[in-house]
Amino acid sequence: MPKNPRFILEGTQGNFNELVLQNSRSGLVAVDFWAPWVGPSLRQRELLIRAAKQFEGRFLLVSVNTDENSRLASQLNIRSLPVFKLFRHGREIETFHGVQPEADYARIFDRHLGDGTEPAIASALRLWQAGKSDEALRVLAEAAVAMPEQPRYPVLMVKLLMRQRRIDEALAILEALPDELKTHDELASLHAHLIILRTGVRNADQTALRARLESSDDPDVRFQLASSLVIADEYEDALEHLLYLAQHAPDYRDGLPKQCMIALFNLLEGRGEILKRFRSALFQLEH
């Protein structure tokens, strides 16, 4: 199981004051009360973890197992499960009983957090629109250093660099990320997409690549061919070669062909038949 991010923590009787009440003085804290034998509480725990990852740390999620912390549950008047409570400014501000409709979790946090546009991001975008791209990137880099656990700053930096075709610089940012961010879905997808762009640009002679592939089933050559096909907007053919690599060389470059397929799925959203076929093939491969 992958380790949860730093904004998803386990609460206990001993750490509740520091973890919840003190942290709530500087931001929103959600406390999820659950027990392993209560099915709906497991479902709510899953939905709250998903929401915390979606909001990327804009609130702290603390999970409390009531079987192991029954005295704390009693002090907080927990009579049934599932329940989650919101804390702000050192006090409880709202309580929710029972599993909510899935879409309501995002609405709840939106209501308490506002639109989420941060000063660093807003400032960077203003500078970018004014043609001051290097200053915009500097603002984002400073924010990333101050909050290294937050993916939104490197995501925006990479996207802005991609607009200027500064591929190597964008890759350097991604490859310097902390390990826990390298597996973030959007950052991993951006990394795969950039690898495709760089490889395809540097190895664009498809005829020569196909001839080499006929004489030797070399994963490097096949990946270069797939990348050049992406650059030429020949996505279906590219996906065929990436799928072949995922099937026959699953450990190639730490599973890069699979990551590239996922990156292309995001790029091709709306092309139903192609997506359906290759998503199904990748699903069958993984299961």
Whether 192 maps to a domain, the answer reads: no
**Do both 175 and 252 map to the same domain?**
no
Rounded average pLDDT over 29-40: 95
Report d(CA 42, CA 36) in Å as an integer. Answer: 7
**Do both 95 and 26 map to the same domain?**
yes
Top-confidence residue, 113 or 142: 142
What is the three-class DSSP state of 154? helix
- 8 A C-beta contact, residue 171 and residue 241: no
The pLDDT of residue 84 is 96
Give the predicted TM-score (pTM) of the model: 0.50
Whether 223 maps to a domain, the answer reads: yes
CA 58 to chain CA centroid, nearest Å:
14
DSSP lists the bridge partners of residue 86 as: 30, 94
- 8 A C-beta contact, residue 274 and residue 239: yes
Question: What's the domain range around 209?
Answer: 200-286
Domain ends where: 69, 96, 113? 113
DSSP lists the bridge partners of residue 33 as: 64, 83
pLDDT digit string, tens, across residues 234-267 = 889 989 999 999 999 989 988 888 888 887 887 6
Domain ends where: 113, 131, 163? 113
Whether 138 maps to a domain, the answer reads: yes
Q: What is the number of domains present in the chain?
A: 3
- Choose among 109, 181, 106: nearest CA to 147: 181
Report d(CA 219, CA 277) in Å as an integer. Answer: 23
Query: Dmax of the chain from CA atoms?
Result: 73
Rounded average pLDDT over 129-157: 88
Alpha-carbon dihedral of residues 99, 102, 108, 113, nearest 10 degrees?
130
The pLDDT of residue 89 is 85
The pLDDT of residue 1 is 38
Whether 39 maps to a domain, the answer reads: yes
DSSP structure class, residue 143: H
DSSP structure class, residue 99: P
Which of 136-145, 151-160, 266-275 shows the lowest mean pLDDT across its residues?
Answer: 266-275
The pLDDT of residue 202 is 62
**Do both 255 and 220 map to the same domain?**
yes
**Do both 40 and 86 map to the same domain?**
yes
Rounded average pLDDT over 68-90: 93
Q: Which residue has the tokens 């996922």?
A: 262
Taken as a whole, the chain contains a residue count of: 287
List Cβ neighbours of 31 (8 Å cut-off, separation of 6 or more): 11, 20, 62, 63, 64, 84, 85, 86, 87
Confidence class of residue 68 from pLDDT cuts 50, 70 and 90?
Answer: very high
Whether 66 maps to a domain, the answer reads: yes
Q: Which residue has the tokens 């995002």?
A: 106
**Do both 176 and 133 map to the same domain?**
yes
Rounded average pLDDT over 203-216: 84
Supply the CATH number for residue 277's domain.
1.25.40
Average predicted confidence (pLDDT) for the chain: 86
Which of 4-8, 34-38, 131-135 shows the lowest mean pLDDT across its residues?
Answer: 4-8
Whether 190 maps to a domain, the answer reads: no
List Cβ neighbours of 103 (8 Å cut-off, separation of 6 or more): none
Q: Is the pLDDT of residue 194 over 90?
A: no
Distances (CA, A) of 50 to 47, 61, 105, 286: 5, 10, 9, 22
Whether 1 maps to a domain, the answer reads: no
Whether 282 maps to a domain, the answer reads: yes
The pLDDT of residue 263 is 79
What is the three-class DSSP state of 183? coil
Q: What angle do CA 190, 281, 155 make, to 5 degrees?
A: 10
Confidence class of residue 2 from pLDDT cuts 50, 70 and 90?
Answer: very low
The pLDDT of residue 147 is 78
